[in-house]
């Protein structure tokens, strides 16, 4: 099982970071690398049990990946698992409001590549980790520039 752990501090309140990351998932391509589009597969607002299909492009290799959210604890933690596609495992975003008003966002993922991709773990794993790191930096710039939705009242 491979592990990815990325942490970034964003100069915005946790509610604002949550609104962009956890509630505006279908627009994640605006700040995420390696992502062509996201489809929400369940009805209603995002929450526990919501399923998404991600259309990824990792190093020219296109894949579809489905996730389900198992925890949706606004604005502290959103986590889930990979249910269809080349990845097996789990992921989480943890939001910590800091005293200075910023948010520490931590992304954790434990995964293994399945199918024929399991033979490419040595190549695709580092590319995927680099993409996550780049996306977190892009997310920081996106939010701090004022882009994206505002928290729901």
Question: Contact, 135 vs 4, CB < 8 A?
Answer: no
Specify the pLDDT at position 120. 52
Specify the pLDDT at position 115. 61
How many CB atoms lie under 10 A from the CB of residue 10? 23
Question: pLDDT tens across 38-87, in order?
Answer: 999 999 999 999 999 999 887 677 889 999 999 999 999 999 999 998 88
The rounded distance, in Å, linking the Cα atoms of 138 and 67 is: 22
Domains of the chain: 2-144 (3.30.530.20)
How many CB atoms lie under 10 A from the CB of residue 45? 10
Q: Smallest Cα–Cα separation from 76: which of 22, 4, 38? A: 22
Question: pLDDT tens across 92-107, in order?
Answer: 999 999 999 999 999 9
């Amino acid at each position: 099982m491979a592990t990815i752990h990325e942490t970034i501090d964003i100069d915005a309140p946790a509610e604002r970071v949550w609104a962009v990351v956890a509630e505006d998932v279908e627009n994640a391509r605006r700040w995420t690398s390696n992502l062509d589009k996201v489809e929400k597969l369940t009805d209603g607002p995002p929450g526990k049990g919501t399923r998404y299909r991600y259309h990824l492009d990792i190093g020219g290799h296109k894949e579809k990946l489905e996730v389900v959210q198992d925890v949706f604890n606004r604005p502290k933690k959103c986590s889930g698992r990979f249910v269809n596609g080349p990845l097996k495992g789990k992921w989480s975003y943890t939001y910590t409001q800091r005293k200075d008003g910023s948010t520490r966002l931590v992304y954790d993922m434990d995964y293994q590549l399945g199918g024929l991709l399991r033979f490419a773990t040595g190549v695709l794993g580092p590319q995927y980790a680099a993409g996550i790191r780049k996306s977190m930096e892009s997310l920081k710039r996106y939010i701090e520039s004022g882009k994206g939705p505002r928290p729901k009242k």
